Amino acid sequence: MDNKPKRREIIVGGFTVAYVAAFTIGFLSTGNYEFIVYVATMVALLLLVGLSLRKADYPTAMLWALSIWGLAHMAGGGVPVSGSVLYNLHLVPIVDNERMFILKYDQLVHAFGFGVTAWVLHHLLTRHFPDTQGTATALIYPALASMGLGAVNEIIEFSAVLMVPDTNVGGYINTALDLCFNALGAVLAMMIIAFVQRRDKRI
């Protein structure tokens, strides 16, 4: 088996490494040490994906989706907007009261990111256990596992709060909304996969 990375993988990897390096320099130069925790997480994920390329055989679209999620995440904490950061940007006033605002950039990134996560988990499950393809198990388990990884992300954010004062992580309502949007993204991803599979069977 050829273990060398393919050209498409090198392109996505190079793009990802470039923006992680750029944002790391930016975070260090501005003293934004909170997001250094996220840089370390990104590096760990890069290594995880890189080391599993041959066994997992990720589709090109999936690799780009993961990279775009990482870019959106880095930009969320590193791009200043209206005296704050991009993560706090209000997009659409679906809910707007003194307790919360929906929809923010942060919430959109959470939904997208953990939707992509559920997609990756579905791919891995059905690749290594082909008998699960087209079953409810292949849809439910990735969604639930993605929600669990979303909870891990919140633990990482909590660690940032403990280690770095004056973070932009937010309080209890923010954490609860993050978990809700993680779940929304995961469920939507599985619904899309189920729809595509059903459509393909009819063709």
Residue with the bigger pLDDT between 154 and 135: it is 135
CB neighbour list of residue 12: distance below 8 Å, 6 or more residues apart: 60, 63, 64, 67
Residue 136, pLDDT score: 94
The two tokens of residue 7 are: 């050209």
**Average pLDDT over all residues of the chain:** 88
Averaged pLDDT, 161-171: 60
Whole-angstrom distance, CA of residue 56 vs CA of residue 2: 14
Residue 179, pLDDT score: 94
Radius of gyration of the chain, Cα coordinates, nearest whole angstrom: 18
Averaged pLDDT, 50-67: 93
DSSP-derived pairing of the beta strands 90-96 and 84-85: unpaired
| Distances in whole angstroms, Cα of residue 178 to Cα of each of 52, 63, 129, 147 | 28, 23, 31, 10
Please, which pLDDT band fits residue 11 given cuts at 50, 70 and 90?
very high
The two tokens of residue 27 are: 């975070």
